[in-house]
A and B are shown apart, each in its own frame.
Chain A
Amino acid sequence: MSGAGIGSMSRRELLMMIGAAAGSSVAYRAMASLDMVPESDYKGPIKLEGDPKGASVLILGAGLAGLVAALELRKAGYKVQVLEYNQRVGGRNWTLRGGDSYTELGGFEQKCEFDPGLYLNPGPWRLPYHHNAILDYCKRLGVVLEPFNQVNYNAYLHSSKAFGGKPQRYRHIQADFNGGVAELLAKSTKQKKMDQLVTKEDREILLESLKGWGALENDYTYRMGLESSGRRGYDHDPNGGTIGKPVPSKPISIDEILKSGLWRYLVHGHIYEFQTTLFQPVGGMDMISKAFAREVGDAVRFNCKVTAIKQDGHKVTATYVDAKTGGAPTQVSADWCLCTIPASVLSQIDLDVSAPMHDAINALPYEASIKVGLQAKRRFWEQDESIYGGVTFTDLPNNMIGYPNTGYFGSGKGVLLGAYTFGPNAYEFTALSPQERVKKAIEFGAQIHPQYKDEIENGIAVGWHRVPWILGCAGAWTEEKRKQHYDNICRIDGRVLLAGEHVSYIPAWQEGAITSSLNAISRLHQRVVNG
């Protein structure tokens, strides 16, 4: 992969590459103008003022959307009851620990064999700093948060087709991509090729900024030396005493970086949702739903599979059966119904709402995703490779390796996220038996961490299309579908309204579930109080 040199690349090709790297932020702006940016305008605890005069609300589903509604509506004076299919609250807000067992569709059962204190968050695992609603609920409910490292400069970027399959440190690719691009731009600027694009005064500023941004030497080249090593790291780190003198490391040439494709992963930490700081609950994501359970768990009836939702001018009636045994249907009625059952399941329920709302629910399939947790006998990524938290990216089907963002330097075992995959590979993973998924995740991961072969001792795999109570990971909205259906999925349809991640513009984030629920109950409350 060497030899070709950047000289062989046209300026246009180069700018296209840079454009591609910048693409996501450009796309982001574009999306922002389309009103698609997942921003939360949560302004503090909801205030439902006015007397609901004993009105009752039946809440279906005890995920975060349902739990938030139960907590706030009850506080506002409503009678609430929640029906939940599972035997626990939380829905996708879920953590697997040693001793848990999980049976997916098809009857495939897994026993989680992690050591005490270790866990996998098979669904949500990180909270952006601007997801104000969920962060506020954590604060109010006493859920302790710790930092989640998204970007780790010492983790890897890996392509099975570049650098002989050898994983590259993020800091090397990051520093050398910036340095290489800065050098090229500086060169073009000095050769007056940018004259039509920048004014004369700005040219000097541009050069200065490229130098600082890319760690260029005084002659505007990016090369082996203390400047570049100050970004990418050294062959021998600066040290004390007689061995103090640093030995710089040799940068990877820009053409090699470009051809490797690894630059694609650099954008990751620049995306709004993945920018520092992110958080995770100490002890597992389900600490959030457990905290809600302390407040409103008594309002939840577990093990209830809702099969029908009927309404007339006066009330809503839900029919449910025992989730495990089926048996005789039971009915429960209320003045209103807030339904947070995922659209994938709701589309199969006998539901009394208008045709437009039906169409909206039926139009929303769910994305594929899988996660695999792997327990290692020791924290080899820390001990051998100085990787503390964060994510390694790979073009192999496991897509990511997530290192635990907690328990650093522990001398015991650790649990890695061994695969986190979407798209076709996620369907393919899901089509395997759970054991086979774990095996594959180990096989792929071992190409990055050879220690896997000796150190990984057990694992657990969740393919979201086999999760019995959701059939996928998150609602697959498209712009087209939003245009056609979004308003209709948000409406108050007689005495029924919907909430959940799928009724938000923050798909696949808990913030979407919570803000959709707050929005729904505000509108419902207005209706109830104002008649």
Chain B
Amino acid sequence: MRGPIPNKDKLMTPISRSARLALCAGLMLGLTSQAAQAVDHSFSNGFKFQETTGEAIFQGVCQGCHMPQGQGAVGAGAYPALAGNPRLASKVYPAFMVVNGNKAMPSFGAMFDDDQVAAVANYVRSHFGNNYTDQVTPAEVKALRPKKPAASE
């Protein structure tokens, strides 16, 4: 997590500060490629995710923890299910979580733009047995962002 790169401060967002991590050296280095082309449909290039649709974002990122059917998982700790999760009744709730994180859920505000957050929030609220029809808008997402972004110290 750390890097000898011009745009270091930007890249070092949540990760880098903690950084000097054992792991980290690699991180920053890996993040530094400047060209904005995804090398592969399932991999982004740089510090921001490049998936755009709700489905692509869910499958490319969220299902790592929340699992392919949104069923969540339980070990020593747990990842909450999104399938049939009553908290999703609020359209702001999932968007807020993605932007700001909570406990084990990292904040993804620095890695997604407002459109992406809205897209994935609306996706989970209309899949996995959730049938909410009201949609969160990118403007509403914007309002959820911390005034002073947590990631930029």
Contacts and interface: CB of A to CB of B under 8 A. Distances in A.
Contacts of A432: 42
B21 A508 contact: yes
Interface stretch (B57-65, B83-91, B117-125): B57-65
Contacts of A396: 39
A264 B35 CA distance: 15
B102 interface: yes
B29 A425 contact: no
Interface in B35-80: 35, 39-40, 42-49, 59-65, 67-68, 73-79
A161 interface: yes
A450 interface: no
Interface string A469-482: 11111111111100
B71 to A, nearest CB: 8
A422 B64 contact: no
Contact of B103 (A23, A362, A430): A362
Nearest to A399: B30
B35 A424 contact: no
A466 B64 contact: yes
Contacts of B65: 105, 430, 465-466, 471
A367 B43 CA distance: 18
Interface string A386-408: 00000001011101100000000
B30 to A, nearest CB: 4
Contact of A478 (B35, B49, B153): B153
A268 B48 contact: no
Interface size class of A (residues with CB under 8 A): 35 or more
A425 B47 CA distance: 9
A529 B147 CA distance: 48
B interface, size bucket: 35 or more
Most buried by A among B27, B32, B45, B75: B75
Interface in B97-130: 101-107, 111
Interface in A448-479: 463, 465-479
Given A106-B67, A399-B29, A273 B22 contact: yes
B21 A509 contact: yes
Nearest to A107: B73
A365 B106 contact: yes
B92 interface: no
Contacts of B144: none
B18 A476 contact: yes
A124 B23 CA distance: 8
A344 B101 CA distance: 12
6 contacts: A22-B4, A85-B75, A422-B1, A431-B64, A469-B77, A474-B18
Given A264-B4, A347-B104, 10 more contacts: A20-B5, A85-B76, A161-B33, A264-B3, A264-B5, A264-B32, A348-B78, A362-B103, A397-B30, A420-B23
